[in-house]
Amino acid sequence: MRYYSTRGGAGSFSAAEAIKLGLAPDGGLFVPAAAPAPLALDGLPGASYREIAAAVLQPFLPDFSPAEIEGAAFSAYSAARFDNPSVTPLHRLDDGLFFLELWHGPTCAFKDIALQLLPHLLRGAMKKTGERSDIVILAATSGDTGKAALEGFRDVPGTRILVFYPEQGVSEMQKRQMVTQEGANVGVAAVRGDFDDVQAGVKEIFNDGALARVLAERGFKFSSANSINWGRLIPQVVYYFSAYLELRRGGAVRPFEKVNFVVPTGNFGNILAGYYARRMGLPVQRLICASNANRVLTDFINTGIYDRNRPLVQTTSPSMDILISSNLERLLFEVTGHDAARVRSWMEQLRDRGRYRVDPATARAVGELFWADCAGDDKAGRAIRGTYREHGYLIDPHTAVGRVVYEKYRAATGDRTKTVIVSTASPFKFNASVARALLDGDRPGGQDEFTLLRLLSEVTGIKIPPALDGLAEKPVLHDAVVNREQMKQKVLDFLGVK
């Protein structure tokens, strides 16, 4: 299978090239020439997560051997990395509703699923394309991605990773997760400034041709682990299959019975993986797109108009505080039958005017696959409290947005199809908001997140995830704070280049 750009730039690319490049040369995103053939579910009933991963990934990665893919999946999803033997276990709320827990990895959020595997794919891709340099991953992070990338790339041979975060711009828990990061090939530095400063600094380093030449001579090459890399999307297709197979095994669905998935959405990566799973024959009825107060996708799916001209709202589900959902570009390419000219024109309108409207046929095609609505912080908070009080099950603020939107979907459509809500973060990772919701608004004043972690565990009787427990006692290994102008020097120091 070859890959093409959504913007129609010349040429096709191998999977290895697509993963190594990340972004297509014409600024578009890589998409497969065709969706893989349907996967025979009957061949997989007793398969482990890692075996399902190998079966799902293989058709997307024809230039990787089965042994390479199995090896990658087995290292990525080992018991040392995921604290649950199912990797992504299902929690049954009642006969019709299930939560797919994607947060049993090292950083307690769903980005681990992709970022544990990506380093292996990237290394394979470098080898296949004859790249002999060490890969240097540079990342600017506002929280979750940086930590997940650090954990994914730590001690992976042939790679280095350096993460910059805004000194005042991340939560206590997130900062602590990063500054205590272990691994021989990792670096972390705070930058005096906000997230935009950090991101601009990293972009400048990426675009510095002279620096790239100096580093190339020393055997280093920059790469990126950001969420538009195709290598981050395909690992996410796997858990849609594993969820369905677990429902089948438990007798919750009949063979070929369709199910809905509700996905708390920001950059549209997670839910797009569900779309590809459906294209590969998974019996999916509806993909329900759940947004927080930043409801660009809700509006788009319901009106055909994408409009980012609105203020970004800070919510209790910060990983979904996004106004440009990059991966939507891939969906538009697919539903228009690979019409790159139309996609390019929409993306240019988005860049120039912050807005575009798709034609009625495209809007209809999107509406047939997806249903969308949104939930504000208040409603999400009430869903956390309600789900806990009624079922003794604790969910995080992102997942709570999915829970609220699912209730809206049921009320609006009357659809009783069995449904899986994709749970994207551990409630302990966003403990301040969860504690506030649970304790009915009276968060005991002045307590830090570590005290709250313990309080939450005491109140609910649920164990703190190992990855967060003990974080307060871990030694700080990365205390560098730099100005934006010093970021380039930090890169050179980190790589030992004079």
Ligand X SMILES: *Cc1c(COP(=O)(O)O)cnc(C)c1O
The string of DSSP letters for 477-498 reads: ----EE-GGGHHHHHHHHHT--
Q: Is 229 in the site for ligand X (CB under 6 A)?
A: no
With contacts defined by CB under 6 A, name the span among 15-23, 103-111, 120-128, 300-308 that binds ligand X.
103-111
Of 484, 5, 36, residue with least CA distance to 276 = 36
Q: Which one of residues 109, 383, 405, 482 is an interface residue with ligand X (CB under 6 A)? A: 109
**113: amino acid identity, one letter:** I
Residue 145 or 419 having the CB closest to ligand X: 145
CA nearest neighbour of 170 among 188, 151, 152: 188
CB 264, min distance to ligand X, A: 5
What are the tokens at 47?
Answer: 């398969």
50 is an interface residue for ligand X by CB under 6 A: no
Q: How far is the CB of 320 from ligand X (least distance, A)?
A: 5
DSSP string computed for 296-318: HHHHHHHHSEEE--SPPPP-S-G
Q: Which is nearer to ligand X, 139 or 425 (CB)?
A: 425
HSE (side-chain half, CA atoms, 13 Å) at 47? 22
DSSP annotation string for 111-168: HHHHHHHHHHHHHHHHHHTT--SEEEEEEE-SSHHHHHHHHHHTT-TTEEEEEEEETT
Question: First and final CA of the chain: distance in angstroms?
Answer: 43
Is residue 242 within 8 Å of 274, Cβ to Cβ? no
Pairing label, strands 220-223, 134-140: parallel
Q: Does 267 bind ligand X (CB under 6 A)?
A: yes
Residue 320 found at the interface with ligand X (CB under 6 A): yes
Structure tokens at 60: 């997307």
- Whether 151 and 104 have beta carbons less than 8 Å apart is answered as no
CB of 110 to ligand X, least distance (A): 6
Q: Which of these ranges, 64-72, 108-116, 413-421, 471-479, lies near ligand X under the rule CB under 6 A?
A: 108-116
Residue 264 near ligand X by CB under 6 A: yes
111 binds ligand X (CB under 6 A): yes
**Can residue 294 be called a binding residue for ligand X (CB under 6 A)?**
no
Per-position x/- string for 125-154, each x denoting binding to ligand X as judged by CB under 6 A, each - no binding = -------------------x----------
Q: 20, 111, 175, 429: which is the annotated catalytic residue? A: 111
Structure tokens at 355: 């807005």
Q: Is residue 418 annotated as a catalytic residue, yes or no?
A: no
Q: Are 25 and 12 in contact (CB under 8 A)?
A: no
Q: By CB under 6 A, which span of 79-87, 89-97, 264-272, 440-448 interacts with ligand X?
A: 264-272
Amino acid letter for position 200: A
**Shortest approach of ligand X to residue 287 CB, angstroms?**
12
Judged by beta carbon, residue 187 or residue 266, the one nearer ligand X is 266
* Binding region for ligand X (CB under 6 A) out of 73-81, 150-158, 251-259, 266-274: 266-274
Which one among 265, 291, 316, 433 touches ligand X, defined by CB under 6 A?
Answer: 265
CB 479 within 8 A of CB 189: no
Q: Is 277 in the site for ligand X (CB under 6 A)?
A: no
Asked if 269 interacts with ligand X (CB under 6 A), we say: yes
466 pairs with which residues across the strands? none
Return the residues of window 422-461 that contact ligand X according to CB under 6 A: 424-425
Among 319, 362, 431, 433, interactor with ligand X by CB under 6 A: 319
382-411 residues in contact with ligand X (CB under 6 A) are 398
Which active-site residues does the annotation give? 111
List interacting residues with ligand X (CB under 6 A).
109-111, 144, 264-270, 319-320, 398, 424-425
